[in-house]
Structure 1
Amino acid sequence: MLSATCRRLVPALRGPRTPSAVAGRYLLAPGVRSFADQSDRAEEPRTFHPALLRFLVCPLSKKPLRYEASTNELINEELGIAYPIIDGIPNMIPQAARTIRQNKKQEEVEQH
């Protein structure tokens, strides 16, 4: 029984990768445009919405973050790190964060 089902599925899987126009209309959720419709318009850059700061915290310190629009980053002042925002999506992986200030000891040495 399983092998019969597999025999029927194999030709369907090897068939065309794009659905027919009729199937495409029913596969999309209401209000969702197909990829063909989306390619007609210019690519819109995605931006970060600052209202998300109510929900986002630093994964390391669990403290609130500050949005810096000029650099398009989320800043943790306490740790001195900045998380990049790419296409409107914050990259909250600690390894992706950059240091925004030097160690306190290095700052003290430079001041004296």
Structure 2
Amino acid sequence: MLSAPWRRAASALRGRPRSRAVHAAGPRSAPDTPGSGQASPPADFDTALLDVLVCPLSKKPLRYEVSTNELINEELGIAYPVIDGIPNMIPQAARMIHQSKQQEEKEQ
């Protein structure tokens, strides 16, 4: 049997949400449904996934940056966005962080 972080990672990689228990009254509606007046906060990234996620280009471990909500590969200088708690590990979606820092320094 897989440990909890491995189950979450396998579920995330398959692209299916983990199963949820359904109560006798039926499934609850999400708070961000249209007309409810409430927007749910964005899903947090599960940092336990850092144990199994690596950069698809270098195969090196990644670091999660809370302030930018990105997975950072310091060696290559790239940042993968995390959208609704799901890391977007497509290299074309990553941004170069070294170029961003250099541009900021030039502007100052």
TM class by shorter-chain length? Answer: 0.5 to 0.7
Structure 2: gaps of 5 or more residues: 1-20
Q: Give the deviation of 1:33 after TM superposition.
A: 1.8
**How high is the sequence identity, in percent, across the aligned residues?**
68
Size of the alignment, in residue pairs?
Answer: 75
Residue 43 of structure 1 is matched in structure 2 by: 39
CA RMSD between the two structures: 2.7
Larger radius of gyration: 1
1:79 aligns to 2:76 (yes or no): yes
When normalised by structure 1's length, the TM-score is 0.57
When normalised by structure 2's length, the TM-score is 0.59
1:33 aligns to 2:27 (yes or no): yes
Residue 95 of structure 1 is matched in structure 2 by: 92
Q: Give the deviation of 1:94 after TM superposition.
A: 0.1
Selected match of 1:62 from 59, 83, 107: 59
Greater relative contact order structure (CA < 8 Å, 6+ sep): 2
Please identify which structure carries the higher helix content: 1
Q: Give the deviation of 1:50 after TM superposition.
A: 1.2
